[in-house]
């Protein structure tokens, strides 16, 4: 029996990274977000915001990295494996920008299936812009809507995790995963 692949996603400033780190601290295996790494690598090459300057290249790098993470899931024989974002995040962000992408993006997302999707809405009390998070809060709300729609378009049921203390959010997620074991 393979591990259940569970995506934790959300727009910027939703508390996603904190939640994933806390899940990991509780002993759950987690595969981490890679977009900041790609952004920083591009900045080292003199490209300030690869996502804005060449969204297709940035998105292809993300999709390839997330597909590799998906394949790593085969190494987890049982239990729950959390992903900090999934492949449909890529096409959702591209849709948000109104950027066209090749059919292989859609095919990759459609063929490689996760077991459950949990999306965190933007949370104004914790939202902070920084060097890698350039979106305004209003843009974060639009991204959230595109994420929900994007995953739904791949026939996922999307669980919206309400704002609250991280332990409350973890219990919400774990309660909804009980039926997956």
- What band does 126 get if pLDDT is binned at 50, 70 and 90? low
Give the mean pLDDT of the chain: 89
Give the number of domains in the chain. 1
Which of these ranges, 9-18, 107-116, 131-140, 164-173, has the smallest mean pLDDT? 131-140
The reported pTM is 0.89
We report the CATH number of the domain holding residue 25 as 3.40.50.300
- The whole-angstrom separation of Cα 56 and Cα 91 is 10
How far apart CA 170 and CA 153 sit, in angstroms, is: 26
Mean pLDDT over 54-80 rounds to 90
Domain containing 134: what range?
A: 4-180
């Amino acid at each position: 029996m393979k591990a259940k692949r569970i995506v934790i996603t959300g727009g910027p400033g939703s508390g996603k990274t904190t939640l994933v780190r806390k899940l990991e601290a509780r002993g759950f295996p987690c595969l981490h977000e890679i977009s900041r790494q790609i952004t920083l690598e591009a900045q080292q090459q003199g490209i300030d915001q690869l996502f804005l300057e060449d969204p297709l290249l940035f998105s292809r790098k993300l999709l390839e990295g997330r597909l590799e993470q998906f394949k790593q899931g085969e190494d987890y024989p049982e239990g729950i494996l959390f992903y900090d974002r999934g492949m449909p995040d890529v096409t959702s962000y591209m849709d948000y920008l109104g950027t066209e992408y090749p059919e292989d993006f859609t095919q990759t997302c459609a063929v490689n299936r996760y077991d459950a999707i949990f999306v965190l809405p933007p949370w104004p009390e914790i939202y902070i812009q920084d060097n890698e998070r350039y979106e305004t809060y209003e843009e974060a709300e639009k991204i959230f809507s595109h994420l929900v729609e994007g995953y739904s378009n791949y026939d996922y049921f999307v669980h919206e995790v309400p704002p609250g203390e991280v332990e409350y959010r973890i219990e919400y997620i774990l309660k909804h995963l009980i039926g997956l074991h």
